[in-house]
Every structure is written in structure tokens, then in C-alpha cells.
Structure 1
Amino acid sequence: MQLKTTIKDIDYKLCDQTFFGEKKQAYDLIEDIITFNHSEYGSIKDSQTLAGSFFINFIEVDLLQPIKIEYFTDEPVIQMSFFMKGCSNMMHHQIHCLPAGTKLAKLPSTPTALEYLSILIPQDIYIRLIDSLDLDYEFISSCSNENPAKQVKYSEMMTPEILAAVRDIGSCERTGHFRRMYMETKVSELLLLQVEQLTQTQKVMHTIPKIDIERMHHARELVTQNIIAPCSLIDLARKVGTNEFKLKKYFKEIFGTTVFGYLNELKMNEARQKLLKGEQNIYQIAESLGYKSPNHFSTAFRKYFGYPPSQIKNQNNYIGSSLMKVKEIVISMFCPFLTELSALDLLMI
């Protein structure tokens, strides 16, 4: 498959690649970073990863004025998009088909930097992956012939599971074949979660009044925006224009969990990301997520994941201390032969 993306305003190529065509590429990991900086138009940074049958792009856009992007593919391709930062549909996702040929999209100027994850899958690979699910493809075909820039209206808000998988992809520090296998596994997980959510949405649209579906989506957005100090069910129902009974009933039917369950998922996945980064201790994380004490947080974390938060902290500390021991061994072995290097240089090995 050939993919070309060009900034039409100044005829600047962001991408010109041929992939998915050779069997050996199923075992390859190809990575590149494309950077566009222009004093008049702004900047675009595209971190590209080809992992097996998936082309993964983490894109950062900071535009001073609108630009036109031309897309060309010689084969139809499925695009999964996850909007992380800087747009009105932040924390939303969508999936649609880019048919073969040339398409033109207009990217608006960005008051703040925009970040999103884009994943391209060849249509035949996509069909094979979900063939056993017996889907009607309605949510794909309805988007297939429209300008990609207009696809936001088809988006759904990310579930905590989807958000966690997106963050796992963005924060992966593995290398080589382990990184390729990890990326492929995570993209497959994202595809499952995304298709599952979108098909469930299609089903409930036929059984729940449209106005109540909109209210439930509004309720979920309010919960997502206020995970530290959430309001009561009665207040949440009042804010979205319904009653507590309908809020409980329809929220669970649409999203597959209760309001509290959804809030708990958000908190737990946020806590896990913070623990993996290792920048805060358990007390700080508990406080940042609105828990009364570290003990309350640890109990909730263990109940959700099946292990205490200290296990992640201890694992991070073990990895860090192991690396330092390796450095000490290397230094002790080679110091006699590396007298021209400073101690600081050696510690940077």
C-alpha cells in the first residue's frame, strides 16, 4: 500500500511511504519522526511507527493558520483516531474508511497544541481481524466518502479502557521485536474496544430515546471532567436534565457500567499511569485523585487490579536499582581503561 500526505499550501510532503506489501514486513519495526516547522503556518510533528500490519502515528499539531492536507492511498484503508489534547472533542475517538484515491482535508488553526493518535490498518487486514464478530459495518460505511476533517461528529468519548490502551502505546519504552509485538497487541486491543463500544452505541440508539442518549453522554463528560470532586447522582441528573432513576438505568445500558463504576475506572487507570511514570509517591497520587487517605486509595486499587499500588512502585525501584548496579559493574570493569572519561560521562552509559 502506498500512502502520501502533502501540505498543499507549500507542496511539503509529510509522508511518502509504501508498506504492508511484503511478507517480511510482518516482522519489522520501522520508526521515524517527521517534523514540519514554518514561521507562517506553524508546526506539525509526526512520530511514525510501522509495527507489522499497523501504521501508528502520534501527531502533534500547533498551527498559526489553516492549512490544506492532501491524502493519497492506492488501496482502501481503515483509520482509527484518538484525540488526546487541544480540540473540542478531546478524549474522543472515531473510526472510518479512507477509500483509495486522493482526499483533501483542511486543518484549522489551533489556539492550543493538538495531540492525537492515528492508526492505519489495510482494509483486508481489518476485515480478517473482526470477521468473527459478524458486524454490519454500518458505522464504517456511513463515514467512508466524507472529508476526514468532518469525521469528528461521528466520534465517541473514550472509555477508561480505551484511554489506558492509548496511553500505553504512547508511553511504551520497549525496543526491537518486543516493541513491535507490544504495539501490535495494544492496537488489536484498541480495535476490539473501539468496535465493541461503537456497535453497542448503534444498538442502544434503537431502544433509548435520542434525547436521553445525549443526556447520558453529557453526564459521562461531566464525570470525566470532575473525577477529583464528583457531584452526587441527584445533582448530576439535574445538571443533564433528567432524574436519578433514568440516569442510573440509561447510563448502565449505554456504557455497560454504573456512574460510580465509570468514575472508579477513570481513577484507577489514571493512578496506574502515575505509578508507572514514577514521578509521584502513593500519598501524592491518592491526594491528587481525591482520596481521603493513602489507605483508602490502596484498598480501592487492590480491589480493582488485584495487587497493591506498592507493587508497581517496588517494581520501578527494582528496575532502577538494577540499572545502577549494571552501571557500577561496567564502571568497575572499564575504569582502568577509560581514564580520559569523567565520572559523569561514565554514569551516562
Structure 2
Amino acid sequence: MEAIDVSPEMLTLVGTGVLGEHRWPPSPVAFEIDFGNPIRFRFHHSAKRAALETRCNDVRVVLIVDRAACDRLLGSELDLGDGDTFFLPTELRAIALAIRECGLPEAAATPYRLAKSIELLCEILSAKREDRLTASTGPASLSQLDIHRIAAARQIIDEQWTEKLTLDRIARRCGLNRSKLSRGFRQIYRCTVSEALVERRLAEARRQLIATDLPVSLIGYRSGYLNNASFTRAFGRRFGQSPTDFRACAVAA
């Protein structure tokens, strides 16, 4: 695997094959990301070469990090269990894919992947701190296949939120009936399918208000709201401010 020596406290490995001979941080833990459908990561409480080489034929990104550094970034002791596996949240999937697929020349690729590795670690720990990690195992009432199909439904929402998605359409795409999808989605993600879709659209609207100068009405329309009043109400309920006030505060900051 290709190695990125991020710091004395962190090593990133990318690709397939055995780990190779590299300097490891002291007291290492590991976050092993595999790129199945959906993308998941497995936590290794005490990173060991033998455990990390069991899937050496798969394309992976492996973050090997000093435990003390994780505790420091998290602000408390990292209490994930050995072998705990989680679906990678939407915004983190993009970072992991950027590390895996970086096509820059070597002189630029190394610092780019180094920065993205730090970002990915910080975002994983932030998701842990904010209880946004979803375990890839679920209630006993759901089979492992159902759990993967429900995760696929979440990925459809996260990646295709601009489309006219309905519960029936999402259920058909992921191979579940609507009642099992509705029930299982709430069990795993603690919200309904429609609530997840609204959250995804409003999160993108929030990003566009900060990152672009597009008119508020256009951002609302692109987020699935047919008029500015309904967009303003939904945004205000979620973020406590109107879109216009939110943008003004972001610009002032």
C-alpha cells in the first residue's frame, strides 16, 4: 500500500496489498475504510499488522493514529470498541474518495492526501463526538441484507437529493417494500426518510448560502422548495434564522 507520513502521530495507507514497512505512531489505533456499497469503516482498538492485512486484496484507506492524538482531538477518551463498524457519513465519503482517487502529480498528491487525511480523521472524530455515526449492524428484527439496503437508501438520499425522490421510488431502488424501509430507516437513523431528505436539502442550501452569491430564492428552488416563503420557513425551523439573516451573519463573521 502507498504510505503518506502525515506526522509522528499519524500514518495513512492507500490502495491494495500488504501494509509494507513504515514507521507507525506509538500506541496506534486504526480506522480502516473499505469502499464497498455502502462505504464503511472499521475501528481497530489496538492496530496490528495481521488484522489489517486480512483484506489486503481490497482497495482501502487506513488511518493509523496515536491513541493520545485521537483523545486530544476528540476532547475525551475514544471509546470505540475493537471491530466496531460504521457506515461512513455522506460528507466523509467524499473525503475518503478524494484520498483514494487523487490523480495529481506526485509532488502535489502527497500534501493533498496529507491534508485530506487530517480532515478525514477530524471529521470521523467530530461525527463520533456528535453521535452521528451509524453502526453497520442494526436491530435483531433486520437482517444484514436489509441493513445494507437501508444504507443504500440513505446513500440515494445523500447523493441524489436534487431528484424528485419519493418513499416508493427509494424503496424500489434499494429493493425493499415501503413499510420495511420506513420502519428500518427510523430504527437505524432515528428519523424518517422524508426528514433525512429535508435535512440533506437544507444542509446543501446552508452550504450554498455561505459559499456562493446565488439569490436566496434560487437556492431555495434548487433545494426543492417551490416558493421562497416555504424555503424560509423550513430553513428557519432547522437553523433558527431566515436564509437571508444566516447569510448576513456568515458574511459578517
Which one of the candidate residues 198, 202, 214 is aligned to 1:280? Answer: 214
Aligned counterpart, 2:102: none
For residues 1-349 of structure 1, the aligned pairs below 5 Å read: 7=2, 14-15=4-5, 17-19=7-9, 70=20, 71-80=22-31, 92-97=39-44, 99=47, 121-123=65-67, 126=70, 129-131=77-79, 137-140=81-84, 156-158=87-89, 188-193=125-130, 196-198=133-135, 201-204=136-139, 206-318=140-252
SS of structure 2 residue aligned to 1:15: strand
Q: Which amino acid aligns with 2:127?
A: L
Q: Which amino acid aligns with 2:8?
A: T
Distance 1:226 1:16 in 2: 34
Quick check: 2:19–2:49 contact (8 Å CA) kept in 1? no
Quick check: 1:80–1:93 contact (8 Å CA) kept in 2? no
From the superposition, tell whether residues 211 and 185 of structure 1 become closer, same or farther in structure 2 (CA, over 3 Å): closer
Distance 2:94 2:237 in 1: 18
- TM-score calculated relative to the size of structure 2: 0.65
Superposition RMSD on alpha carbons, in Å?
A: 4.3
Give the superposition deviation at 1:252.
0.4
From the superposition, tell whether residues 129 and 185 of structure 1 become closer, same or farther in structure 2 (CA, over 3 Å): same
SS of structure 2 residue aligned to 1:72: coil
Distance 1:188 1:261 in 2: 24
- TM-score calculated relative to the size of structure 1: 0.49
Give the superposition deviation at 1:259.
0.1
Structure with the bigger percentage of strand: 1
Quick check: 2:89–2:133 contact (8 Å CA) kept in 1? no
Moved over 3 A (4+): 66-72, 79-83, 87-90, 100-108, 118-121, 124-128, 162-166, 183-188, 193-196, 316-319
From the superposition, tell whether residues 261 and 72 of structure 1 become closer, same or farther in structure 2 (CA, over 3 Å): same
SS of structure 2 residue aligned to 1:96: strand
Give the superposition deviation at 1:251.
1.0
Aligned counterpart, 2:109: none
Aligned counterpart, 2:105: none
Structure 2: runs of 5+ lacking an equivalent? 97-119
SS of structure 2 residue aligned to 1:219: helix
From the superposition, tell whether residues 208 and 308 of structure 1 become closer, same or farther in structure 2 (CA, over 3 Å): same
From the superposition, tell whether residues 269 and 80 of structure 1 become closer, same or farther in structure 2 (CA, over 3 Å): farther
Distance 2:223 2:83 in 1: 35
SS of structure 2 residue aligned to 1:139: coil
RCO greater where, 1 or 2, for CA within 8 Å and sep 6 or more? 2
How many residue pairs align between the two structures?
Answer: 221
Distance 1:273 1:164 in 2: 15
Q: Deviations over 1:233-263 (max 9, x none)?
A: 2233233333222221111011111001111
Q: Deviations over 1:137-165 (max 9, x none)?
A: 1534xxxxxxxxxxxxx6614167x7899
Distance 1:236 1:295 in 2: 28
Give the superposition deviation at 1:221.
2.2
Distance 1:191 1:217 in 2: 18
Q: Which amino acid aligns with 2:47?
A: P
Greater C-alpha radius of gyration: 1
From the superposition, tell whether residues 126 and 280 of structure 1 become closer, same or farther in structure 2 (CA, over 3 Å): same
